[in-house]
């Protein structure tokens, strides 16, 4: 019985912070805008409306606490907002205004973009792989560390301008940056059926 009492107490404590995180993250990004880049013309991606978005977040019940656990982002001060655009796997463009010092994984998770951080943002996997759209912006960024490059080596769809989201901290110099989430769709290949 003592155990259950403990569990009960612990459980009661969690949602408070979860709620705070959640409302914070919602408040800051009320000015999201949705545009369809049309880059995945074959798939006929329809632009999603904010209403649909709301529906999605409500539907994915258990990922709510994910934001509590990972998406710690700070509200940008007025006049110090940094603009960033994500292009998700469907080719949909989403703009955010964020604060200096937040990393791309936290920003993506706080906004329910489809980006995993399997290792919790500790640079021990490659699931938060992003592709910087503009090579000049990539050159403006700090060089990735050996550890980050080691993980990027295992990333699916690695490019010349690939980074790990958890290792990219937002700075004023990166204002207006566009990053793409790599598509993980694969087509059947003959090698799938071969003996190795």
How many Å apart are CA 189 and CA 58, to the nearest integer? 37
Under 8 Å CB-to-CB from 193, ≥6 apart: which residues?
none
Among 154, 152, 174, 172, which Cα is nearest to 164's? 152
SS (H, E, C) 175-189: CCEEEECCCCCCCCC
Beta strands 82-87 and 177-180, pairing class: parallel
Torsion of CA 34, 162, 72, 23, to 10 degrees: 10
- Only one of the segments 24-32, 41-49, 90-98, 116-124 lies at the binding site for other proteins (rule: CB under 8 A); that segment is 116-124
Contacting other proteins (CB under 8 A), which of 32, 149, 173, 176? 149
Q: Which of 38, 47, 101, 120 binds other proteins (CB under 8 A)?
A: 120
Residue 61 beta carbon to other proteins: minimum distance, rounded to whole angstroms: 4
How many residues touch other proteins (CB under 8 A)? 51
Contacts of other proteins in 17-76 (CB under 8 A): 18, 58-66, 69
Reduced to 3 DSSP states, what percent helix, strand and coil does the chain have, rounded to the nearest 5? 40, 15, 45
Between 8 and 38, name the residue whose CB sits nearer to other proteins: 8
Residue 153 binds to other proteins (criterion: CB under 8 A): yes
Round to whole Å and give the CA distance between 182 and 150. 18
Q: Does 108 bind other proteins (CB under 8 A)?
A: no
Q: Which is nearer to other proteins, 142 or 192 (CB)?
A: 192
Q: How far is the CB of 93 from other proteins (least distance, A)?
A: 22
Does 196 contact other proteins by CB under 8 A?
A: yes
Interacting residues toward other proteins by CB under 8 A = 3-4, 6-8, 10-12, 14-15, 18, 58-66, 69, 116, 118-120, 122-127, 146-147, 149-151, 153-156, 158, 184, 186-190, 192-193, 195-196
């Amino acid at each position: 019985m003592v155990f259950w009492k403990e569990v009960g107490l612990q459980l009661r404590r969690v949602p408070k912070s979860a709620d705070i995180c959640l409302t914070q993250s919602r408040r800051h990004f009320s000015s999201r805008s949705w545009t369809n880049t049309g880059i995945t013309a074959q798939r006929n991606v329809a632009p999603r409306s904010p209403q649909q978005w709301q529906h999605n977040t409500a539907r994915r019940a258990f990922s709510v606490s994910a934001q509590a656990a990972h998406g710690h982002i700070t509200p940008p001060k007025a006049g110090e907002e940094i603009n960033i655009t994500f292009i998700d796997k469907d080719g949909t463009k989403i703009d955010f205004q964020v604060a200096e010092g937040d990393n791309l994984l936290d920003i993506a998770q706080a906004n329910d973009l489809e980006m995993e951080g399997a290792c919790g943002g500790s640079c021990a996997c490659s699931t938060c792989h992003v592709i910087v759209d503009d090579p000049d912006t990539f050159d403006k960024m700090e060089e990735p560390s050996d550890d980050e490059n080691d993980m990027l080596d295992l990333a699916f769809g690695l490019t010349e301008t690939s980074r790990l989201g958890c290792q990219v901290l937002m700075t004023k110099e990166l204002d207006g940056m566009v990053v793409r989430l790599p598509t993980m769709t694969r087509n059947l290949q003959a090698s799938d059926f071969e003996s190795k």
